[in-house]
Amino acid sequence: MSHDHAHDHAGTATRTRLLTAIGIIGAFLVVQVVGGLLSGSLALLADAGHMASDLLGLIVALVAALVAARPATDRQTYGFRRFEVFGALVNGVILTVVAVSVAWGAIGRLVAGGEGEAHEVQGLPMLVVAVVGLLANIAAMLVLRAGASTSINLRGAYLEVLGDTVGSALVIAAAIVILTTGWDAADPIASLAIAALILPRAIVLLRDVMHVLSESAPADTDVAEIREHLLGAPGVVAVHDVHVWQITSGQPVFTAHVEVDPEVFASGRAGALLDELGGCLSAHFDVEHSTIQLEPAGRADQEHASHR
C-alpha cells in the first residue's frame, strides 16, 4: 500500500473515531451537568467541566483532522498535516485551564467548609451520574485508543478522555464516602485529585507539541545511528548536514548531504544509490520523506570554506 493510501485510510479511521467519541461524550455531558447541579457536587461539576473540555477538544481534533486531510499546495508544500499538532496544542491548553479552574474551586470549597460553611452534597444522584459517566468515558476511550499511538492529535483527545475516566472513578469514590459517612469534604478533595491528574498529562502533551513545532528530532530517532547506516552503503564516504524533524507525529522528514566516491558518478550509479539510501531510511527508520543530495568526496570542505 502506498504512503498516500495509507494516510488516507488512517485519516478516515481517525475522523470516524473522533465522530463516534463526540457522539458519546456529547450525549452524556448534559446528563452530567444536570446531575451535578441537582446533587450540589463540585466533583461532579468538575468532571462535567473536564468532559466539556473533552468535547471541545474532540471537536478541535476533528477539525484539525479534516484540515490535515487536504492535499499539498504550492503554498503548503508539505500539506496541512501539521494542523494536527495545532489541534493537540489547543487541547493541551484546554486541559491546563480546566485543571487550574477545578483546583481553585475545590480549594475555595474546602476553605469555606473549614469556616463552618460546608456545602451539602447529595450522594445518591452524584453516584448514579458518576457511574453512567464512567461507562460513557470507557466507551469513548476504547474508540480512540487504537489511533492514539500514531497521531498526536488523536493522542491528545485520548488523554483527555482517559483522564475523565479516572475522574469519574474518583467521583464515584467520593459519592460512596458521602453516602456512608456524610463527610462532604470528600467532594472537593476528589476535585483536587482530578485536577492533579489532568495537569501532568497536559504538560506532557504540550511538551510533545513543542518538540514537533521546534523541529526537534523524534524522540525515538538516533541521528548518529542513521548516519552510520548511510555510511555503510557502497560508495558513500561521508554524511553531513543531517536534519531530522516531524511534520506531525509519525511523519518524520530527513535531509542530508552525502559524499560519494567519484566512481559513483562516473559509472552512472547515482540514481541507484539514491534509491538504496531512500529504501534504507524507509525500511529501517520509518522515514517516508527523505531528500538526499549526492556530492563528490571533499565537497563539505568547499562548502565550509564558502561560508567563512
CATH of the domain at 99: 1.20.1510.10
Instruction: Note whether residue 295 is domain-resident.
Output: yes
Same structural domain, 209 and 96: yes
Same structural domain, 206 and 245: no
pLDDT of residue 130: 82
Instruction: Note whether residue 82 is domain-resident.
Output: yes
**0.75 exceeded by pTM:** no
Same structural domain, 208 and 238: no
Same structural domain, 28 and 115: yes
Instruction: Note whether residue 218 is domain-resident.
Output: no
pLDDT in tens, 216-266: 888 778 888 888 888 988 889 999 888 988 887 777 888 999 999 988 888
User: Among 193, 213, 233, which residue terminates a domain?
Assistant: 213
Instruction: Note whether residue 59 is domain-resident.
Output: yes
Same structural domain, 114 and 155: yes
Dihedral sign from CA coordinates of 38, 40, 41, 44: positive
Amino acid at position 56, single letter:
L
Instruction: Note whether residue 143 is domain-resident.
Output: yes
Instruction: Note whether residue 197 is domain-resident.
Output: yes
What is the side-by-side strand order in the sheet with 289-296?
A: 236-246, 252-260, 289-296
Same structural domain, 208 and 234: no
Nearest alpha-carbon partner for 160 in 196, 202, 118: 202
Same structural domain, 229 and 202: no
CATH of the domain at 250: 3.30.70.1350
Domain count across the chain: 2
Same structural domain, 171 and 227: no
Residues of the chain with confidence (pLDDT) below 70: 1-11, 50, 53, 113-121, 147-153, 299-308
HSE of 269, CA atoms in CB hemisphere, 13 A: 15
Q: 241, 257 in Cβ contact below 8 A? A: yes
Nearest alpha-carbon partner for 91 in 35, 7, 164: 164
Nearest alpha-carbon partner for 51 in 141, 121, 117: 141
User: Among 213, 242, 272, which residue terminates a domain?
Assistant: 213
pLDDT of residue 303: 58
Nearest alpha-carbon partner for 122 in 170, 68, 182: 182
User: Residue 302 sits in which domain range?
Assistant: 223-306
Same structural domain, 15 and 143: yes
Q: How is the chain classified by DSSP, letter by letter?
A: --HHHHHHHHHHHHHHHHHHHHHHHHHHHHHHHHHHHHHT-HHHHHHHHHHHHHHHHHHHHHHHHHHHTSPP-SSSTT-STTHHHHHHHHHHHHHHHHHHHHHHHHHHHHHHHHTT-PPP--HHHHHHHHHHHHHHHHHHHHHHHTTTTT-HHHHHHHHHHHHHHHHHHHHHHHHHHHHHH--TTHHHHHHHHHHHHHHHHHHHHHHHHHHHHTTPPPTT--HHHHHHHHHTSTTEEEEEEEEEEESSTT-EEEEEEEEE-HHHHHTT-HHHHHHHHHHHHHHHH---EEEEEEEETTHHHHHHHHT-
Nearest alpha-carbon partner for 256 in 208, 290, 280: 290
Same structural domain, 39 and 178: yes
Q: Long-range contact list for 9-13, CB < 8 A, 24+ apart?
A: 10/147, 10/150, 10/151, 11/65, 11/68, 11/69, 13/146, 13/147
Cell 548518529 sits at which residue? 224
pLDDT of residue 259: 92
Q: 296, 265 in Cβ contact below 8 A? A: yes
pLDDT of residue 134: 86
Instruction: Note whether residue 136 is domain-resident.
Output: yes
- Please enumerate in sequence order all residues whose Cβ is within 8 A of that of 166, keeping only pairs 6 or more positions apart, or say none: 194, 197
pLDDT of residue 248: 75
Same structural domain, 72 and 122: yes
- Please enumerate in sequence order all residues whose Cβ is within 8 A of that of 206, keeping only pairs 6 or more positions apart, or say none: 89, 92, 93, 96
User: Among 153, 185, 213, which residue terminates a domain?
Assistant: 213
Same structural domain, 185 and 66: yes
Instruction: Note whether residue 73 is domain-resident.
Output: yes
